[in-house]
Chains A and B, each alone.
Chain A
Amino acid sequence: MRTLTYVQAIREAHAQLLARDPRVFVIGQGLWSPWYAGGSMQGLETEFGRDRLLDSPVSENATTGLAIGAAISGMHPIVFHPRMDFMLLAVDPVVNQAANWSYIFGGRTKAPVVIRAVVNRGGEQGAQHAQALQAMFMHVPGLKVVMPATPHDAKGLLIAAVNDGGPVLYIDDRWLYNEAGEVPEDFYSVPIGEAARRRSGRDLTIVATSVMVKECLRAAESLAERGIECEVIDLRSIKPWDERCVIESASKTGRLLVADAAWRTCGVAAEIAATVAEKAFCRLRGPIVRVTLPDAPAPSSRSLEQAYFIDATYVISAAESMLGAREE
């Protein structure tokens, strides 16, 4: 099968959606820039016209509101936030309006909008060019949240989000943009709410989101060399998330590690840990472990960045101590 990078897959999903559905348009900052969107929107403006790719003023609140208003009146817009940090200026339209809309009107009007937010961090960018805020939005009823970890899902989840019928927050991560993988040429959806088992194993279940999937697979490979077999689950959809898949796996291995490259308190990992503790406590052979960022803003200096961000080595040492506990 054909191989694409993650960023190419995002671009292809946009191109196919724009070509097939006149209701689809994109609004947000950086759409006409050669570099702002990291190549994910490259050339779409010439292919589909600037009236369907609206590079916008610096008005996150209003552009998001516009997209939601257009969605309520029958369009299928994608609003683009090239940095998730800046999306906080659009929390009212996302949380108060889009997420509530169907419910508060008894399902009589809906807001089928996709909010695309990019996690763009590292490189000494510091605190406000760094944040992965999936947990904040996962908290909100009426809003779905997806985080593709592979090129295949980057395309399929964007298509699923646009056709979902309700508001969906689609979060992609610049650290994944150059990852390559097989991507079908056809127009396909990845079902929202279904996790993917990326590796099977009997000793430990690792549930990971987005960029941590790659790190956990690296960790699992290294642990396998020492005879520790990890099952790695790519959550893909943060809300709704695939409880059944996670609980089945955790019940089989008896051990659960959750890795999410975002803050710890009330995070995605906390929610998964709580649910598994509620529903499958008796199947566990030890405490659930979270591998997350510390509860601190992202620093700038490279020495501090190194101490702050997490990768496979954190997963390996957490897994070793979990398994070490068994051997004791």
Chain B
Amino acid sequence: MPDSALPIFLLKRMYRTMVLIRRFEEQVADRVTAGEIKTPCHLYIGQEAIATGACLALEREDYVWGGHRSHGHYLAKGGDPNTLMAEIYGKAAGCAGGRGGSMHICAPEVGLLGTVPLVAATIPLAAGAALASKMRRDRRVSVAFFGDGATEEGHFHETINLAALYRLPVLFVCENNLYASHMHILERRIADNIAEAGAAHGVPATVVDGNDVLVVYEATRAATERARQGLGPSLIECSTYRWRGHVGPSWDMDVGLKRKDELQEWLARDPIARLAEVLIGRGVGREELENVDRECLAVVEAAVKFAQDSPYPDPGEVLAHVL
């Protein structure tokens, strides 16, 4: 990991955000195992650097869109952990009033306009929000987070062309964790070359280490500046790995031996441990990092308590919000 010239307060914010996501997801995993949580949860563990690096490079007003694996995007953009946990518990106080569950979440107050599990679906929506920003000249940037599997949908290819054509202030952030459900990327396409789609449409594309929060931050920063100058979209492919299964808390060892070897390699590239090293190199004490850990755990435990104590939605309101 390179030495960073970024201010120490920002590095500490990144650390806190990544640890919060990790502890949140571990807590969710435990509660799924305990049978308290039923909604299918696609955990973000291992990929924390991407949501964190990207969202911390954005302004509060900027828009963010996600998919089925988006607890991390929600938290990194500044969404309330209590209402997220309550949503996962199916409670009325949830960020979607108990109608969304883990996969349909939003925090419009901080620019997270929506995440949905229909793979790739929010890619054109993100571009649409960017089109709105361009028309209003409000200088907002819109970010679509999606996985490698989403690049196999027509949504991706159609949208990247439109975004380039209309020079939209949109960032396509592909989190390439090598698997779409159980299938490795090389079982799904002839080469691991997602970023090449950028050049085909005249969109600058970079491939970055998605387990290095600093390079994700820098790449996002550069892309947002470009977008705000009216120069159009960028594609950032972040190489990463999900530690847990496609869905649920398991370690996903049933998808073959290859995965077992890979996992060991990727565990050694833990994005949180890597940032901890940088912080220590910059003179931050281990004790301070342990405190961050404890504080984040307390936030997550409070969120669980909040969710457990909240009532379920009133069954009489099952039809509310159908327009």
Contacts and interface: CB of A to CB of B under 8 A. Distances in A.
Interface of A: 22, 25, 51-52, 54, 56-57, 59, 61-75, 77, 92-93, 96-97, 100-110, 141-142, 144, 164-167
Given A65-B124, A65-B128, A108-B96, A72 B113 contact: yes
Given A57-B158, A108-B95, 10 more contacts: A59-B158, A65-B127, A65-B155, A92-B118, A93-B121, A103-B321, A104-B99, A105-B104, A106-B98, A167-B323
A108 B109 CA distance: 10
Contacts of B321: 102-103, 106-107
B132 A73 contact: yes
A62 B320 contact: no
B180 interface: no
B179 to A, nearest CB: 23
A105 B125 contact: no
B236 interface: no
Interface in B136-174: 136, 142, 154-155, 158-159, 161-162, 165-166
B125 A72 contact: yes
Contact of A69 (B94, B99, B129, B166): B129
Interface in B97-140: 97-100, 104, 106, 108, 113-114, 116, 118, 121-133, 135-136
A106 B96 contact: yes
A283 to B, nearest CB: 28
A104 B100 contact: yes
Q: For B65, B108, B124, B155, which residue has the most chain A Cβ atoms within 10 angstroms?
A: B124
A69 B125 contact: yes
Contacts of A142: 322-323
A61 B161 CA distance: 12
B63 interface: yes
Contacts of A106: 94-100, 321
B114 to A, nearest CB: 6
Given A65-B124, A71-B128, A108-B106, A57 B114 contact: no
Given A62-B124, A65-B127, A109-B108, A104 B96 contact: yes
Contact of A103 (B63, B65, B322): B322
Given A101-B114, A106-B96, A65 B121 contact: yes
A51 B136 CA distance: 11
Nearest to A99: B323
A188 to B, nearest CB: 22
B150 to A, nearest CB: 12
A57 B155 contact: no
Q: How large is the interface on B (under 10, 10 to 19, 20 to 34, 35 or more residues)?
A: 35 or more
A interface, by DSSP: helix, strand, loop or mixed?
mixed
Given A72-B125, A105-B100, A106-B96, A62 B162 contact: yes
Contacts of A54: 166
Contacts of B133: 73
A22 to B, nearest CB: 8
B114 A66 contact: no
A76 to B, nearest CB: 10
A62 B125 CA distance: 8
Contact of A105 (B65, B99, B128, B136): B99
Nearest to A93: B124
A229 to B, nearest CB: 39
12 contacts: A22-B135, A62-B124, A65-B123, A66-B124, A68-B124, A92-B121, A92-B155, A97-B118, A103-B323, A105-B95, A105-B104, A110-B323
Contacts of B63: 73
B138 to A, nearest CB: 10
A248 to B, nearest CB: 25
B323 A69 contact: no
Contacts of A22: 135
Contacts of A108: 95-97, 106, 108
B121 A70 contact: no
A56 B158 CA distance: 11
A107 B104 CA distance: 12
A217 B131 CA distance: 45
A141 B135 CA distance: 31
B131 A69 contact: yes
Contact of A109 (B106, B128, B132, B158): B106
